[in-house]
Structure 1
Amino acid sequence: LPVFNSHAIESRLHHIPGLSEHYLYFNDDVFINRPVGAERFFHGSGIARIPLSPLKLGVGAPHPLEPAPNSAGKNTREVIRRFHGRFITHKSLHTPHPQLLSVMREMEDLGIEELERTSYSRFRSTSDVAPASTLHHHWAIATGRAVPADYSFRYVQLGTPDMRRRLARLAAGEDVDFFCLNDVDTDPKDRAPAQAAIHAFLERRFPFPSRFERVPRTTAHPAEPREVSHRPAARRVGRRPGRQARLAAPQEARRVD
């Protein structure tokens, strides 16, 4: 750290202490639209339900002018071809990603060159693989631990002409489990209006913070904390004739006639 490459971060998620065999990975632009259960992501047998996209990875070698996920998918295709003799074609959806700890450990133990190189890549590169999405998913499918599945979701790309229409449908209660608010090279002139629209939508859709969120401060300049003494406060004891009043701690106070 610091690392600015989500692919590198994905390559180390399975090292989180206490992680179970079945877990979920979210990108920060993916939201759950309504309550969902584990059966959305895993069958009762433990087999993962993989959110494959109908969109294709494309052909040819990776190059810097294409989206980074495309290059990562092409590199993943070479890994799957080399280890499993399959030629993969599909991307993954922008949804939560079901993960199998055993799959991630297995790939790491094999010392896959592309995976190891990605884990050390501070910035995204055309040589990356996408460990937690394309690589994990197609490896799990190839080894019989996952199957393709349908996911109910809505994709919203910021700054596009149909952004507000899609947000309005979600705000009105569209019948989907998940949605993604993706920023793909939004034109600078469209950023402020898009940000305002997204902020208004999220405030309406999620009006209350979850228990995992920090509660915002209620004042712009909170008062500085005051030092609190744990000693009993001193109190004034009444005067005796001819003597000055004095301060005494409660346990030292004497009866005064």
Structure 2
Amino acid sequence: MTALPMEVDADRLAQVRGRLDTVMDPELDESVTDLDFITDIVLGAAGSVRIAFRLPTYWCAANFAFLMADDMRLAVSSLPWVGEVQVHLHEHMYADAINAGVAQGSGFQASFGEAAEGGLEGLRRTFALKAFQRRQAALVRHLLDQGGTLEVLALLDIAALAALAVDAPTRVLLERHLARRDVPGGGSAAFVDTDGQALDAQGLQAQLRHARRVDINAEFNGALCRGLLAARYGEAKDAAPQPLHFIPRRSLAAAH
């Protein structure tokens, strides 16, 4: 077998990392790479790719773990030169079932049988909608800080929003919102509710209030996730805040 030139390997490795950057923790709406879940990427013969990943605890929720593993497989498989993708979760109580299910493409319910509480599609959509709401609210708050008004924002359609002349930080938020804008569906309005209905100024204000509560939970769970990962693997990360009187929406046992 002829080895690929090192620059080809480096380029392909960068492509794989780029695809993994698009795979999100479904609840936190943060990339699995940013969360430091990916531990190894190995390029093999005939376009094979092996990805190893970890989670903060041994008992992280199986459906979340399966969803992320399958999303990694799908994302990397979309590269034209990739022939086979193996995704390997390690040090998890359901690692064998998850790894086998993703490899066989058998799905979550088939992999876990009666222990599976429904399929993943409903879960995937629920958290895609939450991510959409958070991204939309983040953009709206930023545009308001930049001098915009709810009344003007409510009049924008997708094309007008995309064409706005904005600075680099605003463009990042704008593109993140547009990347999820198709999740609720609906018409051409730039800002909509979870049913795809255009939001007026009052509706935007109400969604900002709701999103702030969602943000608090997500930020707490994100800090908890990083703290648990650092504690488990002995890495020097910022410690997670102590819960004190605040109870996260998911229990510690279900956190990942």
TM range (shorter): under 0.3
From the two aligned structures, give the one with the greater strand fraction. 1
TM-score in terms of structure 2 length = 0.22
Q: Which has the higher contact order (CA 8 A, sep 6+)?
A: 1
From the two aligned structures, give the one with the greater helix fraction. 2
TM-score in terms of structure 1 length = 0.22
